[in-house]
A and B are shown apart, each in its own frame.
Chain A
Amino acid sequence: MNIKQQFKEGLVTNNPVLVQLLGMCSTMAITTSLFNGVGMGLSVIIILTCCNVVVSLCRKFIPSEIRLAIFVVLIAGFVTIVDLLLKAFVPALSDALGVFIPLIVVNCIVIGRAEAFAAKNSVGASFVDGIAQGLGYTLVLMAMCIIREFLGSGTFGGGLLNGATSFLTLDGSGTGFQIFNGEAYGCLFMILPLGGFLTLGCLIALMQYVLRRSAEKKELKEKEGAE
């Protein structure tokens, strides 16, 4: 399997959230500002890639009866590492995401990729798969954040951009760019849980529409070619 195809699958045709429907809890819960989305996405990319590589390295030694238990322990180890690193170096992110960083342990994307891909493929391919699937997850998170933040409070890049001291900040102090007056005209419910359900539902519907259209087009082309 080549790298280009893997990235295409991870980002579009086999996107972990929009097509495989995995890891939806965190997708809906933390996407209220761009800062959270990017931070969560990067953490998952790191954990997913590390897990994929280690699982792929050990795939010949792991007995298949207890493989799930071993995967969970491995994932829990990497999650703890990332959790402690975030607490030490980016405490603002750790505070904002709260319980959802340790909850990556039960995020279906990580264990799903370990079981479905890394346990059967070479180390190199698993490494690329981790990055591609993680990027797909991050992209969806960022899209959700941008939509919800814009409609809910009228800003772009909250927490991440336009900080007190510099353009890009990691201490969560950035106020983002005000695009319209969110207090007067924003729909507050987009920031609340309701907005999470609605935005994700519409994004998945959009994805289904696009995939169906492209499949129909392909069929039409094949028909024309046959004639």
Chain B
Amino acid sequence: MEMLQSLLSISLGAILINNFIFSQFLGCCPFLGVSQKVDSAIGMGLAVTFVMGLASALSYVVNLVLIHFGLDQYLQTLAFILIIASLVQLVEMFLKKSIPSLYSALGIYLPLITTNCAVLGVVLLNVQNNHNFIQSVCYGITGGLGFMLAIVLFASVRERLQFAEYPKSFEGFPIALVSAGLLALAFMGFTGMKIW
């Protein structure tokens, strides 16, 4: 029962209260880069969720091995980034062989996940917060879902932005950043929310 409670509070925190993008600033690059259209935003969100969940599980095991040999201080960052890079590569090959339709839909966004700081961030935060295996996987998946929620919401806002009027200097990224700020303001409403 206690486990269930902790899982629930982790999920709620990762999706709403401490949303990876709007309150921790992790994964801003793809958030701003791949949010022109809702369709590609959904694809990116799904791929990131998948990789984040898998990376959390794998890195937990690898971290145990590193701790066993007393190397976790020196090799953690290096090991984690290598795990993520090879995982993304594996996912890419697997999708290409078995679900080619999804593979072509994701296109270039798949390899870009390697340099998404949300993925490395979730792995490092798992270590920092002493999550156990199930909590790590849960944090990874719900963190990815939070990312997806943010990017899909933002993409739909951005589609409307095309019809808005704003100063010429704000064209492109600045107006996107300002609207992301307003979304972050909305997400601030969740601060302090608790179930237990």
Q: Interface residues, chain A, CB within 8 Å of chain B?
A: 21, 24-26, 28-29, 69, 72-73, 76-77, 79-80, 83-84, 98-99, 102-103, 105-108, 111, 189, 192-198, 200-202, 204-206, 208-209, 212
Contact residues, B88-136 vs A (CB, 8 A): 114-117, 120-121, 124-125, 128
* Nearest B residue (CB) for A23: B29
Taking a contact as CB atoms under 8 Å apart, the answer to whether B78 and A205 are in contact is no
Taking a contact as CB atoms under 8 Å apart, the answer to whether B177 and A204 are in contact is yes
Taking a contact as CB atoms under 8 Å apart, the answer to whether B181 and A201 are in contact is yes
Taking a contact as CB atoms under 8 Å apart, the answer to whether A192 and B81 are in contact is no
CB distance from B149 to the nearest CB of A (A): 15
CB distance from B147 to the nearest CB of A (A): 12
Taking a contact as CB atoms under 8 Å apart, the answer to whether A192 and B188 are in contact is yes
Taking a contact as CB atoms under 8 Å apart, the answer to whether A204 and B174 are in contact is yes
Taking a contact as CB atoms under 8 Å apart, the answer to whether B174 and A76 are in contact is no
Taking a contact as CB atoms under 8 Å apart, the answer to whether B77 and A28 are in contact is no
Taking a contact as CB atoms under 8 Å apart, the answer to whether A25 and B81 are in contact is no
Contact with A along B69-83 (1 / 0, CB 8 A): 000011111100110
* Nearest A residue (CB) for B24: A29
Tell me whether A103 and B169 are in contact in the complex, defined as CB-CB below 8 angstroms, given that A25-B25, A83-B77 are known contacts: no
* Nearest A residue (CB) for B26: A25
Tell me whether A204 and B173 are in contact in the complex, defined as CB-CB below 8 angstroms, given that A76-B77, A83-B77, A198-B178 are known contacts: yes
CB distance from B68 to the nearest CB of A (A): 19
Seed contacts A80-B77, A201-B177, A209-B169; 5 additional CB < 8 Å A-B pairs: A80-B74, A103-B117, A106-B120, A194-B181, A194-B185
Can you list 29 A-B pairs with a CB-CB distance of less than 8 A? A21-B32, A21-B173, A24-B28, A25-B27, A25-B117, A26-B25, A69-B85, A73-B81, A76-B77, A79-B77, A80-B74, A83-B77, A102-B76, A103-B121, A105-B81, A106-B81, A106-B115, A192-B184, A193-B23, A193-B188, A194-B181, A194-B185, A197-B178, A198-B177, A198-B178, A201-B173, A205-B170, A205-B174, A208-B174
